[in-house]
Structure 1
Amino acid sequence: MALYAFVEIQGRMIETTAKLKQIQNQMRTKEAEKKRAYLTLEELRLLSDDTNTYKSIGRTFVLEPKPFLMDEQEKKLKDSETAIASLQIASFTLNTLLHSRIKTPERCKFYDKAIKSKTRRLVKTSKEYLEKQLTEVETNLRELLQQDPGLARQIMSMAVV
């Protein structure tokens, strides 16, 4: 019985740690996107409005008006900030689950309140953005499971009790 409980807890810990690492990697990617968008915006602001600006699409460069490129970079910057905040919430939640030993209902309520409070402070997102994030997470999870069949088997064995 104890061995079964240990294996179950160990499996949950491995799964949670993997999710946490994935979130941290996504946060690093979003931070890089945010920095790139910010630096591009700063460079675009220095240019006069009549300057020819080009957008890189693969190996091709397409002539685009400066205001269009600035709007695009501002949107990327805002999307990255929103994604980072959302990932911080997920990271906070997973860290709380991973490192705390919640044993009483009072402590569960405390952590629920802390998570809800942090959620309200960090993120005000729209339904469309959350659907986009969900699709992205599903795709990432699918790719992760396809890359590591052992992990997929482990997760499947954990789900079947």
Structure 2
Amino acid sequence: MADEVNRAAFVELQARMIETKGKIKQLQAQTRSKESEKKRAYLTLEELRQLPDDTNTYKTIGKVFILEPRSVLMNEQEQKLNDSETAIASMQTSEEYLEKQLAEVENNIRELLQQDPGLMRQILSMTVQ
């Protein structure tokens, strides 16, 4: 009976570990996306700063280009830059939390396997077959 309880606990911990690793990978992909968005906004902003104030600037909306004042475009790019930085910081905090959760689950699995050496043999025999 204890073997079944330990086996069920192991399966549950393993599922949590796989789920947490998936969330971490997803968060890392979102972070990379936000970092590239931030870089694009920064580079666009730097180019806009070099232009004289009276330069005609255009904003793209789909396939359409709309004449916009330089200051409006600069404000939009600054807002994108700030939003990206905020999102990246939030994602990094979430990733750190998930990493701690993953470490906790791994420790729980390790403790479970140390408490029940028979469970480890069962698991190893299942993976070898």
| TM class by smaller structure | 0.7 to 0.9
Structure 2 equivalent of residue 159 of structure 1: none
RMSD, matched Cα: 1.1
Relative to the length of structure 1, the TM-score reads 0.61
SS of residue matched to 1:44: helix
Give distance in 2, aligned partners of 1:57 and 1:17. 37
Structure 2 equivalent of residue 63 of structure 1: 67
Match of 1:28 among 28, 32, 44: 32
The residue correspondences of 1:56-95 to structure 2 (distance < 5 A) are 56-95=60-99
Structure 1 equivalent of residue 103 of structure 2: 99
User: Deviation of residue 58 (structure 1)?
Assistant: 1.1
- The answer for unaligned runs of 5 or more in structure 2 is 109-129
Structure 1 equivalent of residue 111 of structure 2: none
The residue correspondences of 1:100-115 to structure 2 (distance < 5 A) are 100=104, 101=107
Structure 2 equivalent of residue 40 of structure 1: 44
Q: Which moves more between the two structures, 31-40 or 57-66?
A: 57-66
SS of residue matched to 1:62: strand
- The answer for unaligned runs of 5 or more in structure 1 is 103-161
Structure 2 equivalent of residue 145 of structure 1: none
Give distance in 2, aligned partners of 1:35 and 1:56. 18
**Which protein shows a greater Rg?**
2
Give distance in 1, aligned partners of 2:50 and 2:26. 37
Higher relative CO (Cα under 8 Å, sequence separation at least 6) belongs to: 2
Relative to the length of structure 2, the TM-score reads 0.76
Q: Aligned pair count?
A: 102
